[in-house]
Homo-oligomer: A and B are copies of this chain.
């Protein structure tokens, strides 16, 4: 496996990124992660924004496949952070790259 892989294997498209951001729950997750600025367990985020673990699992998976977060599993917990690179490439520079 390549040394330069991201934790998301599989292609990231512009549509996947905008779809991932086009939901209130996922926007709250992203906001929470930006303000906390270090790794957090999914469960902690879920509690903070008050969603069920099933729903959390669904939303984190979607954010991950859009490349917006990276995840690291340590024992029982899954720690997530924002992947700024994807925001830069697909959001911040969207208009100019159009």
Instruction: State the A residues within 8 Å of B (CB).
Output: 14-15, 18-19, 21-24, 27, 30-31, 34-35, 84, 87-88, 91-96, 98
Of the candidates B21, B87, B98, which one forms a contact with A31 in the assembled complex, judged by CB atoms under 8 Å apart?
A: B98
New contact pairs (16) apart from A15-B22, A35-B98, CB-CB < 8 Å: A15-B24, A18-B19, A18-B21, A19-B22, A30-B98, A31-B98, A34-B95, A34-B98, A84-B95, A87-B94, A87-B95, A91-B91, A91-B94, A91-B95, A92-B93, A92-B94
B15 and A18: CB pair below 8 A? no
| This protein's copies in its complex | 2
Tell me the nearest residue of chain B to A95, going by C-beta. Answer: B87
